[in-house]
Structure 1
Amino acid sequence: MNASIFLIILIAATVIISFKGFEDSYFFSKYQFHIGSIKRGDQIRMLSSGFLHADIGHLAFNMLSLYFFAPVVYGDLGNYAFLLIYFASLLFGNMLTLYIHNNDTNYRAIGASGAVTGIIYSAILLDPTLQIFLFFIPIPIPAYLFGIGYLLYSIYGMKAKNDNIGHTAHFGGAIGGYLFSILIHPSILQDNFFMVVVLLVPIVIMAVMAKQGKL
């Protein structure tokens, strides 16, 4: 499936803004996700942080993941629904991060990971037979196993707090992609009910752990 102009523009904008951030520390600092600044009213960071990345590797991983999974979403739902799911997932990721880390005013994060995770979840819901190749595994694996494993790893990362990865945003993005895909295309509930339940499991686990104060 050919890449849509919407996807190309989105990737191009993310690359251009990320490179601007690589070269301009003031620009990077002004538009990254920073809880203290957001609580003081700098709400643009909830959106702008999704266009900044830590380095070229971080940027490349997110944009390649988006490039491979996005065609399933806009191919089934159309370009406008794809953009809605992307930005809803980005905002859900940052809103969950703001909620979980609300008392840490110095918490900072950047990256499109939440939005991309939402697109991955959406693609899996739309096409449960989807398979992907990982660099270290020479055979294709079901995309839903990757999605579930990724979120379970994110739970571990949220609990361990031993790296600088925004694991909370991954979860919020997955929730956004999950909910908006079903809202836009409710027949998913009937056509792919098993996958709807399977992908809900790590979300429920995270919610229970958060309620119990274990994250």
Structure 2
Amino acid sequence: MQSLVRRLTVVTRYHHHQPQPNLSFNPHRISQTRPSTHIAQPSNLGHHIPSPSSAIHHFHSCRSQSMIVRNYLSNLFAKNLLHRTLPRVHFHRQNFNFNHNYNSYRRGWRSWFYGLTPNDAVLGLIVANAAIYLFWRVASQKFMINNFTISLDNIKSGRLHTLITNAFSHVDTWHLISNMIGLYFFGMNIACKFGSNFLLNLYFAGAIGGSVFYLVHQAYKAQTSKGWGAIDASKKVALGASGAVNAVMLLDIFLNPRATLYLDFIIPVPAALLGIFLIGKDMLRIIEGDSTISGSAHLGGMAVAAIAWAGVRKGRF
């Protein structure tokens, strides 16, 4: 009797702790599956031992379940891998944009150039002219003549940069001072009205215009002269900022013809009258053949000023 009671107690405790079987198993929903746990108990407890066919069915169910989990994890891993890899490929592709630094440098240089104040532009031109004037004192004469003067021989030799560099070159001290005084007063008026960029473009255009007019005049003299006259015209050099300064000064006179200007800082004259006087004096120099001051270079600057004045009146600047 005591043994029978002990056996019933063991069976009751085992049934109390035994997990309930999952009767609604769906192999397509992973969250509802629970792995079955079979505890091997002694035969005298009366538990059911599964048959071989049911064990084989349970093995195939677990195998299909593991295949579903494996495919799901593989797809999830592949999607995450592609999602994380594509931005990295795009990032590395941007590193091969070699034009990025050049464009940044170009934008930075332009912003600096257009950010110059009128005072910066005028003083910059004056400092550049003064630096070349001092350079004439320390550099070799041959180097300076080949690179900072304008002549037919320099152009024939391919030194085209002299079309501009001669407009920063002075040998005589009073020549430098007079040009820089005119550049400061008239250049400040132009820069304050149209901007520093306009002043710099006008200065360079006046330099090129003065050089072209001088070369044309020298070529004409070389064609009409004979012997040493033709050779002298080909080798004759010119330098100075007079053509560029003339472009700045005459543009200001064209825009303000009724203003009062002081000739030689003493004599007050109307701006229009002073402009007529300067143009007539340069034409007389060409006719008389003045060998000291090039009237043709001055007229080249005047032509640039006239073109700029016409552009301003038409609203192009």
For the aligned pair, the TM-score class normalised by the smaller chain equals 0.7 to 0.9
Seen in structure 2, the aligned counterparts of structure 1 residues 185 and 5 have a Cα distance that, compared at 3 Å, is farther
1:43 aligns to 2:160 (yes or no): yes
- SS of 2:186's equivalent in the other structure is helix
Contact (CA 8 Å) 1:118, 1:173: kept in 2 or not? Answer: yes
Contact (CA 8 Å) 1:22, 1:55: kept in 2 or not? Answer: no
Choose which of 265, 281, 285 in structure 2 pairs with 1:153.
Answer: 281
Amino acid at match of 2:286: M
- SS of 2:269's equivalent in the other structure is strand
Q: Structure 1 residue 186: deviation in Å?
A: 2.2
1:90 aligns to 2:207 (yes or no): yes
1:110 aligns to 2:239 (yes or no): yes
Choose which of 307, 312, 315 in structure 2 pairs with 1:179.
Answer: 307
Summarize the alignment of residues 60-209 of structure 1 with structure 2, pairs less than 5 Å apart: 60-102=177-219, 103=222, 104-135=233-264, 138-187=266-315
Unaligned runs of 5+ residues in structure 1 are 189-215
Contact (CA 8 Å) 2:118, 2:192: kept in 1 or not? Answer: no
Amino acid at match of 1:181: W
Amino acid at match of 2:119: S
- SS of 1:146's equivalent in the other structure is helix
Q: Structure 1 residue 146: deviation in Å?
A: 1.5
- For residues 10 and 80 of structure 1, the distance between their equivalents in structure 2, rounded to whole angstroms, comes to 12
Q: Structure 1 residue 177: deviation in Å?
A: 1.6
Aligned to 2:146: 30
Q: TM-score, normalised by structure 2?
A: 0.55
- For residues 135 and 90 of structure 1, the distance between their equivalents in structure 2, rounded to whole angstroms, comes to 24
1:107-159 deviations in Å (ceiling 9; x for gaps): 210000000000011111222222221237x4421122122111111111111
Unaligned runs of 5+ residues in structure 2 are 1-116, 223-232
- SS of 1:46's equivalent in the other structure is helix
- SS of 1:4's equivalent in the other structure is helix
Q: Structure 1 residue 18: deviation in Å?
A: 1.5
Contact (CA 8 Å) 2:164, 2:207: kept in 1 or not? Answer: yes
Which has the larger displacement, 90-99 or 108-117? 90-99
Which has the larger displacement, 26-35 or 164-173? 26-35
- SS of 1:69's equivalent in the other structure is helix
- SS of 1:101's equivalent in the other structure is helix
1:13 aligns to 2:128 (yes or no): yes
Contact (CA 8 Å) 2:129, 2:169: kept in 1 or not? Answer: yes
- For residues 117 and 69 of structure 1, the distance between their equivalents in structure 2, rounded to whole angstroms, comes to 10
- SS of 1:109's equivalent in the other structure is coil
Q: How many residues align?
A: 186
Q: Structure 1 residue 187: deviation in Å?
A: 4.9
Between Structure 1 and Structure 2, whose CA radius of gyration is higher?
Answer: 2
Seen in structure 2, the aligned counterparts of structure 1 residues 162 and 12 have a Cα distance that, compared at 3 Å, is same
Identity %: 27
Contact (CA 8 Å) 1:28, 1:52: kept in 2 or not? Answer: no
Q: TM-score, normalised by structure 1?
A: 0.80
- SS of 1:132's equivalent in the other structure is strand
- For residues 157 and 22 of structure 1, the distance between their equivalents in structure 2, rounded to whole angstroms, comes to 29
1:43-68 deviations in Å (ceiling 9; x for gaps): 01111111111311000000001111
- For residues 187 and 121 of structure 1, the distance between their equivalents in structure 2, rounded to whole angstroms, comes to 19
Contact (CA 8 Å) 1:21, 1:27: kept in 2 or not? Answer: no
1:57 aligns to 2:174 (yes or no): yes
Aligned to 1:205: none
1:53-96 deviations in Å (ceiling 9; x for gaps): 13110000000011111122112111111111111111011111
Q: Structure 1 residue 22: deviation in Å?
A: 3.6
- For residues 166 and 54 of structure 1, the distance between their equivalents in structure 2, rounded to whole angstroms, comes to 15
